[in-house]
Structure 1
Amino acid sequence: MFKRLFLVMLTAILILIVSVSGAAAEIMELEQLVVTANRYQEDSFDLPINIEIIDEEQIANSQANNLGDLLKNSAGIQIKDNGGPGGQKTIHVRGSSASQVLILLDGQKINSSQNGEFDLAQILLGNVKKVEIIKGPASAVYGANALGGVVNIITKTAADLQKSELVLGMGSANTYQTSFNYGTRLNKGDIVFSFGSLNSAGFRDDTDHDELDRYFLSTKINRSLTPNTKLLFALNYHDSQKDIPGTISTPTPEAEQETKRNTYQLKLLNQLAHKDTELVIYYKDQNQIYDEDTTISGESDHKTKELSYNLNQIQYFARNTLSYGVEYNKDKIDSSDNGKHDFVTKSVYLNDKIKLAERITVNAGLRYDDHEKFGSATSPRIGLVYKLNRHNNLFFSYGEAYRTPTFNDLYWPKTKYSEGNSDLEAEESKSYEIGYKSNYNSFGLNLSFFRRESDNLIDWAAQDDKIWRPSNVDEAQADGIELNLSKSLTDKFKLEYQHTYLDSRDKNTDRLLEDQNYNNLILIYQPANYSINFKISHVSGRVDDLDNYTICNLNIIKQIQLFNNNYKFKISIDNLFDRDYQINNGYPMPGRNFMFNLSTTF
């Protein structure tokens, strides 16, 4: 099946290359700069990987109020959603698990070291400038846990804020949203301050135990020490309290969870004509309390801390860009369930992007990690870009990646039902990708074929003594196709389409691990002072005997001017036709719901 699809789509590529290059040569290409792929700024079009950028305009015009809902529009990405604003939302990239995808906030890891995952619903979008998504292995740059991909959330700076920004929103189920951003220049620097909140009574019809209160505060202070040297300090604070209603069949009517997280970043950057040097010190402190309010389970308290140092240097030459660095990382946990543990990882990495010829660029990288429990790991990658012409590229990449077991995997306390396994080894993968990119002002196309072979996958299963334990037993293979298409039909009407075909299977049992077909069709109409977005999403070939579903969302934005101020009024209607469906088995998604937002700058 995969070979047949490959041949069909390859034929389509060749036809498209000929037709587009001949008919649209006069149209200028669009440059999209990214920083996530190699830790320095470069054009995503010239990279041998599939990297997606969601910019500030796309965020503002979306229905989403959190990162999980925003990423549902992306090919190759599956958001596992427990439903509603408070429901956990985790990301799977090309069939990976959530713990195999690295989540970064301004380049720094925010995944939980306890379970390896991150709840994307915790990221409200008020201060987000853009999101960069690497689809595929990135351990050669970032080390462990970037087996499936990387999501980098880049927040606004004072330079992005010409004026103060305020957003107020209200919607179904007593949902209220607030966002405020303020930035100003100081002597030899600038400062930006952001605040956001989301409160909701919840959408679940089968329970009243579904409330959410979520807040964040952040600040960035940037100061020029010399004409070539800058110092940046960033602080982010997150606080959420939510009910955990459980599944329909196994409800937890009294369960609650509170999460508090502080992150601190100190960055020293020196930029010369042909060399950049960056030192980053990062600290994360998170406390999560789960209380089921029963005599059986009671309260669980998990404190995790992370400290990292990263020294990185980039050298720019005539035909290549060389980046290299060293990194130190310490993860620590103090848990009522898992006990007290800590790990140290020391790393060195190197990447070189070389222009071999006018049409050929090679990107090669290697990272060596020394983990005090799991030993050493070497993660290579190599990619090649062949420029067909100014607007069309072919690319190929190969990469190896790994994921270390989490504190939960290793040290889950022994009970009558479950127990961790301190003898686990790291998961490993090899990934291949071939693709085509077309980049025009009014037309864009990204098409990728990929395969990931994974070994030593950690699987929790009942053993001979009936106790559930994790072990390195599984092998999996994920084959797939991703298509991203955008076309401006007129100066006011635009069409976007994303398709993912994914065949992700357990190689031992041939069991399907992920839903197979994802389709998004987005129609955008932008007459004067209006923006109207209509989105149709269809998912089929599902796992766990779940039904296929089709969902429609509508978003209308109107710009108005009152008292010499510009205002933007937005109404979002999700699940327009009030369909019943589930993304995660046992967790019903909200029916038709509304959100009204009013935003202004001053």
Structure 2
Amino acid sequence: MSHERTHATRRALTLLLAFLAGGTPALAAQGSLLVKVMDNYGVIPDATVRVVAEGSDVTHRAQTDGAGVARFDALSEGRYDLRASFTGFAEAEIRGVVVAAGEVLQLEIVLSLAALSTSVTVRTPNRREQLLLDVAEPTSVFDEAEVADTGARSAKDLLSEQNGSGIQVNAGGGQGHISINGISNAGVLLLLNGRRYLGKDANGNLNLEDIQLAGVERIEVVKGAASALYGSDALGGVVNFITHNPDERGAENTLLLSAGSYEDFRVNDTFSWRGSRGGFTATGGWRTYDGFDLQPEDPQKVGQPKSKWWNGSATADLQFSPRIVGRLFADYENREIDPYFFAGATQMGGVYNSIRDLTRHTIAPELEFLLASNATVRLQYNYGKYLRDETQVFVDSGDVSVQPPWREWNQELKLIGRLSWKAGGHEHPLQGGYEFRKEKLERGSLGADAKPERDINVLWLQQELDLGRFTLTGGVRYDDYSDFGSEWSPKVGATFAITPDHRLRASFGQGFRPPYFGQLYLFTPPFFVGNPDLVPEKSDSYSGGYSYASRKVQVSADYYYNKIKDGIVFDLTGFPFTFGNLDRYNSEGVNLSAAVSLPAGFTPSFAYTYNKRVRPAEGGEPEEDIGGYPRSSAFVKLLWQNPRLGLRANVRAQINGEVPPGVVDTSYQPGYQVWYAQVRKTFAMSGGYTFDIFAQVDNIFDKRDIYRRQTCPAGNAPPECVEGQPLTEELLQVWIAPRAFRVGITFGMDRTR
């Protein structure tokens, strides 16, 4: 036994010496990397740093410690790409870092607030991802942190505050209708992950209160005619709501719980997973809200009706082969409204409660074929349906009237090709496609044509030329409508990089929008009727601007000019109320914005819009105000953030000037301000978990009931006309919720690599 034990000992020693002798060179071929993550004024604990070897998909991930340092040991020698991220800051990247054998390399990465970053990218302006600085069309981006800063529950909450960015939201009568640079909601295309959002009313307005923000990661707003890429609905611009879709392998989950005044409760959850060949994201949301200013005895005061919302969405992608990728997007949304009181001259049966059930379905499968490293073909089908069911219950008599159903369908088939060709040492993206779209509406309040439908065939092409510091983009779209003929919509845009931080930009585009079915065929006599003689409205849109972006300062200034021919308007000056073509009007103005990162974590920002809408003088006729939107509006925000303490707080205000009388509405709206404040605390825990709490107050100074005011004709006003008298019996006022308080908790899990 002693001889066997001695032999075993010798063999173990031999193996140990062999391992040490063979292992030393392997250890010597490895190095370490220390990455310090900072903002402009100090280190950032709990930031995420990822290190990826060039030519590999293997990712190393670490969190920064209290000193802001993430440590990576035992890295094989070679070249690596580094990415650092932290909520509220734009992701920063360093490429081609060389790690040598036996070396301990130390690096610093400085993060900039997302609003001040030179690396922010957008997808919507040119249907592809590119730097925001390189986009010719003025574009606003609201990222995940900015959305969280507002505590917004719906698209209406968020966009109502952005009125200094060329964006206006009419928040009257329980509605929320967006306009861009003086172009009404009918000329603004709303997308969800690039898919058309259904449910516009007879005026072409879509209620932003219907769009809940569960799972929405960012919103991109393109200002200016986008018809050449997106079609007739994009006469004035595009708003694209983009949901969360992570690139990193592993799992993530975010659970939000919030509660506030007027029994406002909300639960949202988003779960994502990604593997080597694909991934998916699933989101579910529920909200209930009791509303405010709902009084049967004064039913015209409709601030916000009591509602319940349910929504669920999913995105998925799968790489079937190295050259074929499949994707799927599906969305379901439901809103139940009860009570919603109506009365007045246009409701002849007395006061009634309009009980509504609104449902939207979208499903969109897609296949992408990778023909080469620089060429792809994408086949996409979109199916959308909107259902509105209404029951009217009369308060005095108790009579119940079930209204005819409202159904809207949209089907789209798209074939899109992309080719990036090289010349002069630069890439030049070329893209184009064919689209077929079918629209159909069934609505009991339509006239002789109760089930109108139309087919639209589309061809489009866009070429971008990268000429170094100068970039030129040109495109054209051909739309052929089965009921309104065909039209060409060209666009051209250019950017010039004065320096890496300074840009000049300019764009021109033409738009074309046929009337909506409701504008043509609405038939609810004796008060509201459609106009089957309407013709399409057309636009010429020009913009020119300048932008500067650095780590501490961002400034932008844009001038815009929209010339509209045969603009479709809702005319309240005659009887019955109907739609008409306004032969001409112009909307021009300026959008200015600035943000500065100051010491101690303060970042003030400011946005201002001047907008003038007039029917220009012609043929001896004087210039006339169109009205509809304020001449001046602004948004201000003071942000304070200390990532070392996990604290973030802000004070915000939307400031609206007076809305002048116009040719289709002779009343005016006085100016007003609404102020908000929020404070947020984030607790980072081990294992990739976070815990976040916030508290906020809306309408700090309790601004309420902004009535339109009466104007009296000079010289021949009737005796009962009182200049400036509030029109308290009108429905579409600006009803703002009285001062409201809200608190919320977010639980986050990040197990990605």
Displacement, 1:249? Answer: 9.5
CA distance in 2, matches of 1:35, 1:132: 8
Matching residue of 1:94? 181
Check if 1:323 corresponds to 2:431.
Answer: yes
CA distance in 1, matches of 2:139, 2:573: 41
Residues 414 and 212 of structure 1, relative CA distance in 2, 3 Å threshold: closer
Check if 1:167 corresponds to 2:276.
Answer: no
Residues 157 and 563 of structure 1, relative CA distance in 2, 3 Å threshold: closer
Check if 1:558 corresponds to 2:681.
Answer: yes
Matching residue of 1:529? 646
Matching residue of 1:493? 602
Check if 1:277 corresponds to 2:385.
Answer: no
Displacement, 1:235? Answer: 1.1
Structure-2-length-normalised TM-score: 0.72
Check if 1:217 corresponds to 2:274.
Answer: no
Aligned residue for 1:422, secondary structure, equals: coil
Matching residue of 2:89? none
Matching residue of 1:591? 738
Displacement, 1:542? Answer: 2.2
Is contact 2:542–2:560 with CA below 8 Å preserved after alignment?
yes
Displacement, 1:476? Answer: 1.4
Check if 1:459 corresponds to 2:575.
Answer: no
Aligned residue for 2:353, secondary structure, equals: coil
Displacement, 1:186? Answer: 5.6
Is contact 2:391–2:400 with CA below 8 Å preserved after alignment?
no
CA distance in 1, matches of 2:527, 2:374: 59
Check if 1:542 corresponds to 2:659.
Answer: yes
Is contact 1:46–1:385 with CA below 8 Å preserved after alignment?
yes
Matching residue of 1:268? 367
Displacement, 1:450? Answer: 0.7
Aligned residue for 1:104, secondary structure, equals: strand
What whole-Å deviation, never above 9, does each CA across 1:80-123 have from its counterpart, x for those lacking one? 1137xxx2211011111111100011111114365333221222
Matching residue of 2:579? 470
Instruction: Look up the equivalent residue of 1:449 and give its one-letter code.
Output: Y
Displacement, 1:61? Answer: 2.3
CA distance in 2, matches of 1:80, 1:29: 31
Aligned runs of 1:176-325 on 2, under 5 Å?
A: 176-185=265-274, 188-204=277-293, 206=295, 210-242=305-337, 243-246=339-342, 253-271=352-370, 272-294=372-394, 299-318=403-422, 319=426, 320-325=428-433
Matching residue of 2:443? 335
Of the three residues 703, 706, 717, the one matched with 1:582 is 706
What whole-Å deviation, never above 9, does each CA across 1:486-507 have from its counterpart, x for those lacking one? 1111261111111111111244
Check if 1:121 corresponds to 2:209.
Answer: yes
Residues 563 and 279 of structure 1, relative CA distance in 2, 3 Å threshold: closer
Residues 149 and 247 of structure 1, relative CA distance in 2, 3 Å threshold: farther
Runs of 5+ consecutive residues of structure 1 not aligned to the other structure: 1-26
Matching residue of 1:11? none
CA distance in 2, matches of 1:390, 1:352: 23
Runs of 5+ consecutive residues of structure 2 not aligned to the other structure: 1-111, 617-622, 661-666, 709-731
292-301 or 110-119: bigger deviation: 292-301
CA distance in 2, matches of 1:349, 1:583: 45
Displacement, 1:205? Answer: 6.2
Check if 1:390 corresponds to 2:500.
Answer: yes
Matching residue of 2:488? 378
Is contact 1:80–1:583 with CA below 8 Å preserved after alignment?
no
Residues 199 and 296 of structure 1, relative CA distance in 2, 3 Å threshold: closer
Is contact 2:489–2:511 with CA below 8 Å preserved after alignment?
yes
Q: How many residues align?
A: 571
Is contact 1:134–1:150 with CA below 8 Å preserved after alignment?
yes
Residues 485 and 216 of structure 1, relative CA distance in 2, 3 Å threshold: same
CA distance in 2, matches of 1:387, 1:187: 38
Matching residue of 2:747? 600
Q: CA RMSD in A?
A: 2.5
Structure-1-length-normalised TM-score: 0.89
CA distance in 2, matches of 1:352, 1:120: 33
Residues 583 and 169 of structure 1, relative CA distance in 2, 3 Å threshold: farther
Residues 511 and 82 of structure 1, relative CA distance in 2, 3 Å threshold: closer
What whole-Å deviation, never above 9, does each CA across 1:38-72 have from its counterpart, x for those lacking one? 21111121111101111112112222111121123
Matching residue of 1:348? 459
Displacement, 1:258? Answer: 1.5
Residues 197 and 249 of structure 1, relative CA distance in 2, 3 Å threshold: farther
Is contact 1:248–1:586 with CA below 8 Å preserved after alignment?
no
CA distance in 2, matches of 1:421, 1:431: 27
Instruction: Look up the equivalent residue of 1:51 and give its one-letter code.
Output: T
Aligned residue for 2:233, secondary structure, equals: coil
Check if 1:138 corresponds to 2:253.
Answer: no
Aligned residue for 2:140, secondary structure, equals: strand
469-478 or 261-270: bigger deviation: 469-478
CA distance in 2, matches of 1:269, 1:491: 48
Instruction: Look up the equivalent residue of 1:534 and give its one-letter code.
Output: V
CA distance in 1, matches of 2:262, 2:696: 14
CA distance in 2, matches of 1:513, 1:506: 13
Is contact 2:431–2:463 with CA below 8 Å preserved after alignment?
yes
Of the three residues 153, 169, 180, the one matched with 1:65 is 153
Displacement, 1:228? Answer: 3.0
Matching residue of 2:245? 157
Is contact 1:505–1:513 with CA below 8 Å preserved after alignment?
no
Matching residue of 1:22? none
Residues 113 and 65 of structure 1, relative CA distance in 2, 3 Å threshold: closer
Is contact 1:386–1:393 with CA below 8 Å preserved after alignment?
yes
Of the three residues 164, 171, 175, the one matched with 1:81 is 171
Aligned residue for 1:140, secondary structure, equals: helix
Instruction: Look up the equivalent residue of 2:421 and give its one-letter code.
Output: F
Instruction: Percent identity, please.
Output: 22
Residues 358 and 221 of structure 1, relative CA distance in 2, 3 Å threshold: closer
Of the three residues 490, 496, 518, the one matched with 1:408 is 518
